[in-house]
Structure 1
Amino acid sequence: MSNAAWFKRPDMLVGISALVVSFVAVVVSLYSASIDRDYARASVWPQLMVARSYAPQVGKSQLDYLVINNGTGPAIVKYVQVGYDDTYYPTWRALFDSMGLDDVGFVQSQISRMVIPADKQITVLSFTNPKTIEQLSGFDNGLDFTLCYCSIYEECWQVNRQAKQRSVDACIEPSGVLFTQ
């Protein structure tokens, strides 16, 4: 029998080599899985934007407020707040009444607690009456929309009309008035 050190024996060299190769394979596999998870999240990442569209035409002007999903995945809207001068309202009618706008004709779409698919645009509010559009022009700068939405992986963001978007841990409904329409 040979008196060689245990780590110099051929069978031990083969065993240690197999152990090192196995360890490297596990590390590479874990790194690959991490990259796959990141890719899966990125492939369904929503990105909402609140926008205003104004098309002035003689006799056919139109003012729209839009929510656009420019992301690659669906946006799950958890809550919406609509306000004017730091006061929030549950409905469009309550908002317009507080502004002293009695005879406002508008078309609305549901936005609260919706799923907005990728590359989709929702016209949340639309005005075609020139008198109403003129009345609203003075209020436009104080009007605010805040939406909190999540991806299908429960990664959440909050965005407002000024296009300020920030990541949040979760869409926890704030105390105060939430928009119901």
Structure 2
Amino acid sequence: MVTDQAPWMRTLMRWLYTLVHEAVQVPVLGLCFGHQLLAHALGGEVADNPMGLEVGTIALRLTGAGRQDALLGAIAGHPWAQVVHRQSVLTPPPGAMVLASNGHDACQAFRYGEQVWGVQFHPEFSADVMRAYLQALRGEGLTQQQVDSHLPEVRECDDARTILNRFALLTAAQVA
């Protein structure tokens, strides 16, 4: 958890801050814990979500900026994603633009500047991986009834997975 503030996390947050503010336009994409760590490093607030654990396949609400965003705009037609997190970005970093939210989390995605993104969800997860997470959480954060209610809702989120390829395409010229 970001709030653990382990020494390695503090070192990584200093490195991220330096990378974003002093490096020459290095693209950054933080996923889930990376999203939270990036937000905290840039001055946002991360803590346990008051609504508790969010897990399963969820619908995202893209903001107007999110629909126009070079990265998240790719999922505007089908904004579904896999999530599993207890902590959230409660307050985005100053100057960040919120790109997506849902009823559980007001900052499912943000952009900071032109080339730094954080997404709370897991674009790398397939439906099978999400189902495995749900099964693993049985008795470790979820009751059998909760697992049983979430499993039928799990679906593939192909559009969310395209974010990884899109990030690579958007940034390839700068890192070559």
TM-score (normalizing by structure 2)? 0.26
Higher strand share: 1
Higher helix share: 2
